[in-house]
Amino acid sequence: MRKKIVAGNWKMNTVLPEGEFLVKQLEFLTKEMETDVEIIVCPPFTHLATIGKLIKDNGIKICMGAQNCADHESGAYTGEVSVKMLKDVSCKYVILGHSERREYYGETSEKLYKKINLVINEGMVPIFCVGERLEERESGRHFEVVSEQIQEVLYKLRGVELDKVVVAYEPVWAIGTGRTATSDQAEEMHAYIRRVIASKFGEHADIIPILYGGSCKPSNAAEIFLKQNVDGGLIGGASLVAQDFIDIVKSF
Ligand code: 13P
């Protein structure tokens, strides 16, 4: 049985009091809730220490992740945040290779491989994002693109390391556009991702959670989550509205 996960990527949204309020709303909504879904919030860096403490002190049933990390352990890297720093403020997860980071900040597979190692070595869980652009899908190259993204990073790991990874499939054309992949498109790619991983790692591929991300909302989550190879969602916009986010969790 694979872990079910719904993670909220807040991106560069909210100031700290808004973030704290959102988490308090999530606390209220999850208090009486029975669920086997791991609920994760990934606020901006400036919020992590405070929100980490808020979650811990109040026994809130959600986990916290960061949206990125440095590709070095420590030292003279002005402006960067290390995995040790993230762990210290109670982060369990780190999103890596989000298409926005690949596209706007030149994040390469080489960098991502360094980061994924640091995250795993620190005992944290990387949420490794892959996904094709619109023109790549329209030219029929989407499987090839996603396969390359996986091979360039995940194939370099050992099986025991891979077991720590969560993959998120986020087609770039579906992110923030309101245009969701159909549940069949998601399942087709998720099953493909699992096959690509299996061809190198065998049965390790069976236990890896693969999340869908891209305009996922309460109205479409249930259909997508019903698919065999979809183990949850990485939610952007809808994770900023507590009720919507929890409705997505309840879609399982
Ligand atoms: P939206 O849900 O806003 O489309 O964003 C998805 C995403 O990029 C999550 O990481």
State the residue for tokens 């706007």: 104
Q: How far is CA 77 from CA 20, 85, 117, in A?
A: 29, 13, 18
pLDDT of amino acid 1: 82
Whole-model pTM: value is: 0.98
CA 176 to ligand 1 centroid distance, Å: 6
Q: What is the pLDDT of residues 129-141, one digit of tens each?
A: 999 999 999 999 9
CATH number of 4-249: 3.20.20.70
pLDDT of amino acid 178: 87
Catalytic pick among 38, 100, 107, 170: 170
> Is 98 annotated in the active site?
yes
CA 165 to ligand 1 centroid distance, Å: 19
Q: How many CB atoms lie within 10 A of CB 32?
A: 6
Question: Using an 8 Å Cβ cutoff, are 130 and 98 in contact?
Answer: no
Average pLDDT estimate for 118-146: 98
Average pLDDT estimate for 176-203: 96
